[in-house]
Amino acid sequence: MEQKIKELKKRSRSAKQSDLALIDDEMEALASENPEEFAKAMLEAARETAVEAHRLLIKEKLAMVLPIVSVSYLAKTYFGKTPQWFYQRLNGNIVNGKQAAFSTEELQKLTFALEDIGNKLKQSASLIQ
C-alpha cells in the first residue's frame, strides 16, 4: 500500500489536470480497500514530505552563503567531515540505502559555524579600518 501511494504521489506531481481525477479515484479505491493501512501509509507519505520540505528549506536558506563560504572549510573545520558528506546531507542523497539529512545536532553545529565565520569576518573587517 505504501509503495502504491508513493507512486501516486509521484505521478500527481507531474500530472495534467485531467489526470488528477484518475489519481484521486485510485486513492479513494486504496482507502476503501483497507482504511487502516491506507491511513498509516498516508501518514508515512506526509512524514516523508515534511522531511523533504525541511531539507529544501535548509538548502534554500544556505543558497545565499554557500557561494561565499568554502564548503570544504566548513565541513572539515566544524564537522570533521568531507565536502561530499556535507553535500550528501544538503541534497538528500541516498547513502547506505537511506536519505541523508542533517541531524538536529548537526543543524545546531551548522548554525554555530555560520555565526562563527560571520564573527571572524566582522573582526577582520574591523582590523582594516
Characterize the bridge pairing of strands 94-95 and 98-99. antiparallel
Q: Name the DSSP class of 98.
A: E
Query: CA–CA separation, 98 vs 48, rounded Å?
Result: 12
pTM of the predicted model over 0.75? no
- Nearest CA to 27 out of 64, 57, 1 is that of 1
b/e burial code for range 91-108 (CB count within 10 A of at least 16 → b): ebeeeeeeebbbeeebee
1-26 pLDDT per residue, tens: 888 988 888 888 888 888 898 999 99
64-105 pLDDT per residue, tens: 999 999 999 999 999 999 999 999 999 999 999 988 999 999
